[in-house]
Structure 1
């Protein structure tokens, strides 16, 4: 299980772009959570996807984000 989850939809162009940005930022591969068939996830993330979620801190990063933004977000969650 990855520390990170990417909440997304099936056939979502923005979600595909988010995965590319996460790869550019060298994020450890996140688990994919598709919200389409889950009423609770749909209610929480329906208009926000894609969303990167940190399972440890509970922090979330909403789209749009760039590789530099993701790297900073990760660094902010890494103990020094």
Structure 2
């Protein structure tokens, strides 16, 4: 299972969100693809006000302030 994590450099909320996602990864096996929204104009326009964003497939699981319980519940059912 591949989970996409959209973020940008110098984003404290993104650092915290990636840490939370990695905590979930300790309990559920999945790969994380970290994507810097600054490198793609289309992605930047789509997510610039939402980051960090966690996506599975084409569906946004959670964005902004990420929490362990929500991520765990969703990824456990995937």
TM-score by length of 1: 0.80
Q: CA deviation at 1:4?
A: 0.8
RMSD: 1.6
Q: By percentage of residues, which structure has more strand? A: 2
Deviations 1:20-44 (A, max 9, x none): 1112222534111001132111110
Verify: 1:42 aligned to 2:44, yes or no. Answer: yes
Distance (Å, rounded) in 1 between the aligned partners of 2:24 and 2:2: 15
TM-score by length of 2: 0.82
- Show structure 1 runs of 5+ residues with no match: none
Distance 1:13 1:29, change over 3 A: farther
Q: How many residues align?
A: 74
Q: CA deviation at 1:65?
A: 1.9
- Show structure 2 runs of 5+ residues with no match: none
Q: By percentage of residues, which structure has more helix? A: 2
Tell me which stretches of 4 or more aligned residues in structure 1 moved more than 6 Å.
none
Q: Which residue of structure 1 aligns with residue 76 of structure 2?
A: 75
